[in-house]
């Protein structure tokens, strides 16, 4: 029975299946690679990774606060630490579109601005980012929403939205 067809390797049908299987494996590997890569940059609210031990030594978190980056456009950098936000006050003119960046130098905190949809988790090593346009004049407290220790409930600050003609620029 042996030796009737001394073919080298597999028959064409089997060879096609092998090609198909290898192709499938390559597709899976590609999908996993792409998914892992993409997911690393797609965590909601996450802007970028930072080192919580050095994040306040240089770069924008070294001088937290709000600044105008264009007409009516602002950037606010906020450092969270037990049990305070730095800065504790953000002053902006009515209608300001503010992109808020928040990070933590110690444990996990939350950052929620009352009466807005700004509500972020703040995780050490990460920068959370959200933009919001403040159309209403008033005082909007921001609070920590993640239990972070004994004085968690006292961890807060305020956004003050003032009439545009009263705004002096740069914040408090």
Q: Check: CB of residue 108 under 8 Å from CB of residue 121.
A: yes
Sign for the pseudo-dihedral over CA of 129, 111, 155, 168: positive
Q: Which is nearer to ligand CUA, 76 or 144 (CB)?
A: 144
Q: Which is nearer to ligand CUA, 99 or 145 (CB)?
A: 145
- Residue 20 is a binding residue for ligand CUA (CB under 6 A): no
Burial of 152 (0-12, 13-18, 19+ CB in 10 A): middle
Q: Check: CB of residue 100 under 8 Å from CB of residue 76.
A: yes
Give the number of residues in contact with ligand CUA, rule: CB under 6 A. Answer: 7
Q: Contacting ligand CUA (CB under 6 A), which of 17, 20, 41, 147? A: 147
Site string for ligand CUA, 104-123 (x = CB under 6 A): -----x--------------
Q: Which residues bind ligand CUA (CB under 6 A)?
A: 109, 144, 146-148, 152, 155
């Amino acid at each position: 029975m042996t030796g009737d067809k001394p073919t080298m390797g597999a028959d064409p049908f089997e060879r096609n299946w092998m090609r198909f299987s290898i192709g499938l494996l390559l597709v899976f590997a590609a999908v996993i690679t792409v998914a892992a890569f993409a997911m690393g940059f797609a965590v909601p609210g996450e802007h970028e990774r930072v080192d919580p031990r050095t994040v306040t030594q240089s770069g924008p978190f070294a001088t937290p606060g709000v600044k105008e980056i264009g007409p009516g456009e602002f950037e606010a950098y906020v450092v969270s630490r037990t049990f305070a936000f730095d800065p504790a006050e953000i002053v902006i003119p009515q209608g300001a579109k503010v992109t808020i960046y928040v990070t933590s130098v110690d444990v996990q905190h939350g950052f929620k601005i009352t009466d807005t949809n700004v509500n972020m988790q703040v995780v050490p090593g990460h920068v959370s980012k959200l933009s919001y346009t403040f159309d209403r004049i008033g005082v909007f407290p921001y609070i920590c929403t993640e239990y972070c220790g004994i004085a968690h409930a006292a961890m807060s600050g305020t956004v003050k939205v003032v009439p545009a003609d009263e705004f002096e620029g740069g914040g408090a």
